[in-house]
Amino acid sequence: MLKRIIVLNLLLMVCFFLKGYAVVEAYEVIEVADGGKITGVVTLKGKAPEVKMLDVTKNSGFCGKNTPDPRFEISGSNEIKNVVVILEGIEKGRKAAPVKGAVLDNADCVFVPHVQAFTKGTTLTIINSDPILHNMHAYFIRGRRMVFNLALPTKGQKIRRRIKKSGMLFIRCDTGHSQMSAFMYISENPYYAVTDKSGKFEIADVPPGTYTLKAWHEALGTMEQKVTVAPQKEVRSDFNFISQ
C-alpha cells in the first residue's frame, strides 16, 4: 500500500513539472529597489484526511512498529503545512544566494524536515541522528537523475553535499525503511516559499509585474493563479485546496 502511495505522489510530481512548469535557465540578476511582497495562507476546504499510521518493517525495535504518515500536517483550522509555493517563470530579480543551515536529518527513522526548499548552490548537511544504518538516496523527479546516494552507518555522522542543479528532489531510505520519504525543491531564484504550520507563506522583493503563482502539495496536487505585484506593495494570494 505504501509503495502505491509513493508512486502516486511521484506521478503528481511529474504532473507538476509537465503542466507548464519549467526551471528558468536564464535568470538575470538585477537590483530590486521597488519590489513588492506576496503573502498568503494555504488551507483545505472540507474534512481533513485522517492521518494514517505507516508500518515500520525494519529496525522496529528502535523505530517503533509504526509512524504517522507525514503527508498531512493540517491544523485544526485546516491550514496546510509543507506546501511549496513558487513564482513561476520569473526571468529577473534579486540574487539567489545559497541558503545557510540547510539540513536533512535521519531522526527517529523519519526525515526531518519532510519538505524544504532552498536555492541552487546551497550546501546541504546530511545527518544521521539514529544509532542504526540509513542510506539516503536522492534523485530529481524529472529524469530521475541521482543527486546523492549515501550510507550513514554511525550515529552523529554528517556529510555535506553542494546541490548544483535545480528542480524537485525526492529522497528515500534504501535500507528497508519504507516509511521514510522527503522532498526538496531547489530553485534557480529566491522567489519560493514553504508554508509553515499555520499555512502561511511570504515571498518578498518581487519585481513589479504579473506572474503565475503555483502551489504544490505532495498528496493534494497543484494549484495556480495569477498575481499582480505593484511597486512596494503587499498583495494577498491565498490557496484553498479541496479535500479528496
In DSSP terms, 203 is beta-bridged to 38
Class of domain 2-31+54-197: mainly beta
The residues, any chain, with a CB within 8 Å of residue 85's CB and separated by 6 or more, are: 40, 42, 192, 193, 194, 195, 201, 203, 213, 214, 215, 216, 239
The tens place of each residue's pLDDT in the chain, 244 residues long, gives: 444 544 455 555 545 544 434 444 578 999 999 999 999 999 999 999 999 999 999 999 999 999 999 999 999 999 999 999 999 989 999 999 999 999 999 999 999 999 999 999 999 999 999 999 999 999 998 888 999 999 999 999 999 999 999 999 999 999 999 999 999 999 999 999 999 999 999 999 999 999 999 999 999 999 999 999 999 999 999 999 998 7
* Predicted confidence (pLDDT) per residue in 74-99, tens digit: 999 999 999 999 999 899 999 999 99
Q: How far apart are CA 91 and CA 113, in angstroms?
A: 29
Tell me if 94 sits within 8 A of 35, measured CB to CB: yes
pTM of the model: 0.88
CA distance 172 to 137: 5
Q: Which helix (H) or strand (E) holds 150?
A: strand 146-152
